[in-house]
Structure 1
Amino acid sequence: MLIFFLRRLFSTCICATQKIPLRKSSFLKVRFWIIPVTLVGVYCLLSLPAWTLWARDVSQEVQQMREALFDETREGPVHLPDWALKTSGATIDLQRTSSSYAWEESWLCRAFWCFYSPNPPDTILQPDVSPGQCWPFQGSQGQVVIWLPARIQPTAITVQHIYKAVSPSGTVSSAPRDFTVSGVDEEGEEETLLGTFTYDVGKEALQTFPLKEELSRAFQYIKLFVQSNWGNPEYTCIYRVQVHGKVASQTSSQEPRDSLRPLLNKN
């Protein structure tokens, strides 16, 4: 039907131009433009479904990107309190935490004489998870010890990285993979294993892992030990860590004691 309609339309245009009393030169000009205009119209009609599919694919990609960016800005499960939040008083025990990765020691920085100060470990205690706002440490193994503002009976821990789609390098090989969570006493001589987990980069960027609640113990120090990452041989990046749980005793003071505070970097 479409081809028949186009043929009738083309014939009608030719007949109409023949009935118009024009000079020979004007008639040739009109007939010259009828053929390419008709061909363009046929091409547009035939390719309309392809353009529609292309526009739909682009719209879906934009929607997926918006959802990814929205997920990156979420602060996590709203029904679980986060005790490892810097604004709530949580800090990093630097004496028992791995050193930050020195970017100037990489071969790329040595080649171009670049100098970059890495983000401090307490970056993981803040809700900003924009690309690059992470704490890097050397190699694929490292640990961080978080000092909580009160003695908490931990029930779950949340670890967050970024999606591959929004990564500046186009990869998430620096994301942590296998890790353990332990409760640590104040002197650091005794550790209680609370769970062994795997962060899967193929799932959601924000992943919550339940801890062993049958221990019924409270801790003010939580240790996260990363055993491996997703392939980056130089460094591992942690974007955010959240500690969920219940206060050990409602009658005990939740205010941190200065004598128990770890040594902090004065940045």
Structure 2
Amino acid sequence: MKFYLTLVFLYLNTLTYAQGISVSPSRIFFKGEAGQTVSQTISFSNTSTSEFYFVANIKDWDRDSVGVKKYYPIGQRKQSNASWLLLSENSVRLAPGETKNVNLNMTIPNDGTSLVLTNSMLFFTQVKEQKGELEKGVNMNVLLEMGIQIYHVPTGLSTGDLEFLAFEDKGLTTQETGTSIRKMLVKVKNTGQINKDAYVRFELTNIETGEEVPVKSIAIAMLPEAEQWIQLDLPATLKGRYLAVAILDAGTQYDLKIAEKEITY
């Protein structure tokens, strides 16, 4: 009996992959005006000893209320620019040690759709070509899929800001593994017309003892005028009165935003 298992690894924010393949850039921001055609070179590099073959496809996308990307067929989203794109090659074959460039062109239409930020996702998906019969037993194909975020950013858009809308303690929650955690949520809004990257840093201090609980920062990326919940998981063993502080850092061009909440566990 033969078993066929295909694993698809999706890397959207990194340029270098463990299998020896790299692609650059991971995000493209076109800034042409209506009626113009603008171009960007996408570079592929294969430092492995194997040949790779990729085919291209484009999808629309956005994020849900917790920041997870959702994908759609072309044309289902009002903010799509997928139909504006044209690749010089729709497939890429890379021999061992080879570097290759592909040109991506965007033709910006002369209508109102070019006056707001639009986006799409360009995928390059590895294709495994059959070479003879597979060996008996379990056969595993490990496939790569590389996604490049494509934006058109017209001039004159409002940068807006990032701001906190809510800070909530959800108490104890049981995970699928059966372990318990304490869950806190903050809600953030992007009030601007451009995409924003930021970090939400947390500080948790025991009010009675002054002890600080180490909490990791969480990176977020938000589309224009989006609202997003950011979840913080804390140990279920916390006891006492705590001051929780959330700090929203979108870079030097924006003021830090701070939200506080006192919680008794």
Task: With the length of structure 2 as denominator, give the TM-score of the two structures.
Answer: 0.33
More helix by share: 1
More strand by share: 2
Larger Rg: 1
Higher relative contact order (CA 8 A, sep 6+): 1
